[in-house]
Structure 1
């Protein structure tokens, strides 16, 4: 079976634009030529792709299901056929999707966006929230860059440690541990704690470190983000143990007290991850460099 790669470009444009005329304009071809391409795509796939609904065209369920896959395949083909094309940031128009931990968005997001706007005003960034379950967004081409504490285990996902942060303890001013006796690991464990977990976990590596000392901390709740945990801490005698970079906002914005963690705990690593299909993509390389710098500075 002979496959025309031009049909892939036509299909991508049709799915993105939802209109034969708009797709034709995007690819600089005539509307009749695009109509003929749509006819060939329909015969090849056995699906209508776009159907008329009143004055508009509506994608079929099949078209919706393959939209991201088609776009990803087209990007890979372009990367193979034009790997050495020079990147002109002043004319680059592209939208990047970034799934970052919320504290990293708050700390490094503004720096990254500022650098992007200065260098490539046609580029847009979509920061999306982390999911409570593992998602294959990088593999499916739905996410361009991830940044969090997890190192991906699959071989097709690249991961680079860009920074790390030591842990500190956040409490409200006037909390019993913020004055008086030295804060020991035992006094720390006996206090009431809020954990931070988007999956709602009540235990983490901190509890393993305490267990080695024969201690168990008193966890009363979990919060999905550091920002949410800080609101609990502000209004009660609770402790939140977070990376030092995340604690800066708590101290500055909420007037909370920050003090050292009274036990040894490995620093929290931050990994920047992407799919291998973007290894040589010049625009992606440029964005990775900016993201790497922004995250390292925040850490």
Structure 2
């Protein structure tokens, strides 16, 4: 039997997207063409791969069992067939799309852009705001790099922990907590809080930590970005708890004060994520290196 490598890519897309339409969009083919590929895959494997359950399609036990193997095989094939030419940065013309947490754009975006422009003036960067829901653009190749505090779970998404930062309290200079020797956990809980949540969540891991001590706090507002949340603290006695590294410049510009968090919590991680299709892409690898340096420098700076 002659092996068609296009079927491997089609199978990978079908297993990742869970639908003919989604797989077709991912591979930039028509839905009828993807349906024909699914039919060929079914005849080749002797398995239905995807079966309809109501309005959705569900992978068969066989499909679930081979999903990671298909990922790895496709990755190996792409590595073998990828061209290995040298990267000419001076003549490189390319636009990269980055979906980063807003605080990481503010803290690490400027040095990244400066490094990119110095080495490859023909490269452009598109920074996108994070969505309020999880989106598949990274898997579909519509976003090149993501940077936030979440490690992705999809097997085809690479993720690297490039740094971490402890959580701190940020308040205005006239806030009552600036006049105490050290903020206690009881004083922290008794204050009024503003949180950052792109989904508008009123609770997070801090509330769990307080609950374990028999304490609760009052969150009076949420904001979709750290920049917006910090504005709420300027003229009020609201406080915000954020990673120290990502808010240094904003805190200085707004005349705010940083105080230690009176809770034992692990530092907030910074993950850089990309789709495995770009593992052997020389230009993407170069950009990842610059992004890794910019993010790690932000996290490590005093």
TM-score, scaled relative to structure 1: 0.74
What's the counterpart of residue 102 of structure 1? 102
Q: Distance in 1 between matches of 2:233 and 2:136?
A: 34
For 1:270, the equivalent position in structure 2 comes to 270
Matches within 5 A, 1:4-15: none
Match for residue 231 of structure 2? 231
* Corresponding residue of 1:156: 156
C-alpha contact 2:101 2:130 (8 A) present in aligned 1:
yes
Describe how 1:128-143 pairs up with structure 2 within 5 A.
128-143=128-143
TM-score by length of 2: 0.73
Match of 1:86 in 2: 86
Contact 1:90 1:119 (8 Å CA) reproduced: yes
Deviation readout 1:2-49 (Å, 9 max, x if unpaired):
x9x9xxxxxxxxxxxxxxxxxxxxxxxxxxxxxxxxxxxxxxxxxxxx
Q: How far, CA to CA, are the matches of 1:153 and 1:226 in structure 2?
A: 25
Q: CA deviation at 1:180?
A: 3.1
Cα distance in 1 for residues equivalent to 2:285 and 2:175: 47
Alpha-carbon deviation of 1:152? 0.5
Give the unaligned 5+ runs of structure 1: 6-64
Work out whether 1:261 is the aligned partner of 2:261.
yes
Choose 181-190 or 100-109, whichever is displaced more.
181-190
Report if aligned partners of 1:79, 1:281 keep a CA contact under 8 Å in 2. Answer: no
RMSD of aligned C-alpha atoms? Answer: 2.1
Provide the C-alpha distance between the structure 1 equivalents of 2:78 and 2:263, rounded to a whole number of angstroms.
Answer: 52
Question: Is the contact between residue 87 and residue 283 of structure 1 (CA under 8 Å) also seen in structure 2?
Answer: yes
8 Å contact 1:160–1:272 — kept in the other structure?
yes
* 1:70 matches 2:28: yes
Question: 1:139: how far off?
Answer: 0.7
Equivalent residue runs for 1:11-50 within 5 Å: none
Quick check: 1:197–1:222 contact (8 Å CA) kept in 2? yes
Counterparts of 1:181 and 1:82, CA distance in 2: 60
What count of residue pairs does the alignment treat as equivalent?
233
CA contact (8 A) 1:251 1:257 kept: yes
Shift of the alpha carbon at 1:78?
8.7
**Aligned-partner SS, 1:238:** coil
Q: Give the structure 1 partner of residue 192 of structure 2.
A: 192
Residue 179 of structure 2 is matched in structure 1 by 179
Deviation at 1:69, TM superposition (A): 3.9
> Contact 2:107 / 2:247 at 8 angstroms: preserved in 1?
no
What's the CA shift for 1:181?
A: 5.0
Bigger mean CA offset, 246-255 vs 227-236 = 246-255
Note if 1:114 corresponds to 2:114: yes
Larger radius of gyration: 1
Residue in structure 1 matched with residue 170 of structure 2 by the alignment: 170
Deviations 1:150-195 (A, max 9, x none): 1100100000000000011011111111103531001100000001
Runs (4+) off by over 2 Å: 65-71, 76-83
Equivalent position of 1:251 in the other structure:
251
| Secondary structure in 2 matching 1:297 | helix
C-alpha distance 80-92 of structure 1, shift in aligned 2 (>3 A): farther
Q: Distance in 2 between matches of 1:142 and 1:165?
A: 29
